[in-house]
Amino acid sequence: MSSAMSAKIGRSPTASSPERPSVPAPFTLAPRKVAIVARDWGVESAPHVFRHWEVTPHIPRLIQFCAEEGCDTVIFSLWTHCRRLAGKLTDDELFPVPGRHLAVLAGEVFDCENEKGWKKERVVVANRGRRGVASVRLEQHFARTKDRKWTKEKFLRDLPARTFGGTLVMLCGEVNIISTTRAGKVVDPFRFRRKLDELDIRLILNPAHTYSRLHWLKEKRRVLSRAGRTVVTVWNAGNTAKGEPSVPWLVHRDGTLLGKDEVKEVDRAQLPVQGVRIGIIKL
């Protein structure tokens, strides 16, 4: 979870500015083979702090590569694309392979020239099916367990827009909708796991910004994967000041962390672009 996103997100709603109801997602997602794409800041070549955005012009090549590997869904780590450098992601960029069913999840940052601008991120969830292309843009509502209650309630009201059939999108620290104690007990004040059961959620896509060493975040993802669900998390690699696992993703299935045999990393020598790592999982 990033320090930029850890700050207070949004403004408290007021009586004078009522919120519009969440619009249900316009399509469903039932992935069978998912490509997990993480940018690797450690090998990107630009020497300045904004090197993260070097991958921006290569997003279509990466999506095409994943599609050619037989993947029907591509999930990027957040801070994927900079609109200030390259404009809004278009359908042609998101779906470079004609005629193939595909879904893509990527984060669009409005201004990448300063850290303050990174907070203005919209996460694109786009799908091309038989009826053509449809997409929605989501926002992260909160990042920490201690964030204000109204931000979590806003997230819960937004669930219809994030529910794509049996697939739910949770952004970065939104897994903090549940809590854990030092003794390992799960605290679920919003009865969120019951909502997952009621919605029949089988897959949670949880892209993140950077790796967090907070052990309870990993535990929360494991807990959310119980009852036969799969939780897929991916972050930007190379934030070495914090220390990181050997791969920049975590996949939990039914309470168990999957290993390298289940989430297979593509040989980096075969990748069309350097500065990324790609794992593939069959669901």
CA atoms within 13 A on the CB side of 26: 13
* Rounded Cα–Cα distance for residues 171 and 93 (Å): 22
Report CA torsion sign: 110, 115, 119, 121. Answer: positive
pLDDT above 70: percentage of residues in the chain: 84
pLDDT at 70: 96
How far is C-alpha 86 from the geometric centre of its chain's CA atoms? 21
DSSP 8-state secondary structure symbol assigned to residue 78: S
253-278 tens-digit pLDDT: 999 999 999 999 999 999 998 889 99
| For residue 5, pLDDT beyond 60 | no
| For residue 222, pLDDT beyond 70 | yes
- Over residues 168-177, mean pLDDT: 97
pLDDT level of residue 14 (50, 70, 90 thresholds): very low
| Residue 67 CB-density burial (10 A; 0-12 exposed, 13-18 middle, 19+ buried) | buried
What residues are paired with 136 via a beta bridge?
125
144-153 tens-digit pLDDT: 999 999 999 9
Residues 202, 232 contacting (CB under 8 angstroms): no
Indicate the range of 2-11, 211-220, 269-278 predicted with least confidence.
Answer: 2-11
| For residue 123, pLDDT beyond 80 | yes
| For residue 20, pLDDT beyond 90 | no
* Rounded Cα–Cα distance for residues 276 and 281 (Å): 17
DSSP 8-state secondary structure symbol assigned to residue 18: P
pLDDT at 115: 60
pLDDT at 51: 52
pLDDT level of residue 163 (50, 70, 90 thresholds): very high
Indicate the range of 74-83, 189-198, 225-234, 259-268 predicted with least confidence.
Answer: 74-83
pLDDT at 184: 76
CA torsion, ordered 241, 242, 244, 249, to nearest 10 deg: -110
pLDDT level of residue 279 (50, 70, 90 thresholds): very high
* Rounded Cα–Cα distance for residues 109 and 85 (Å): 10
pLDDT at 250: 97
The angle, 0 to 180 degrees and rounded to 10, between the axes of the packed helices 215-224 and 192-199 is 40
DSSP 8-state secondary structure symbol assigned to residue 154: H
63-119 tens-digit pLDDT: 999 999 999 999 999 988 888 778 889 999 999 988 788 999 999 887 666 666 556
* Rounded Cα–Cα distance for residues 58 and 274 (Å): 10
Token couple for 245: 């696992």
Per DSSP bridges, beta strands 167-169 and 203-210 are: parallel
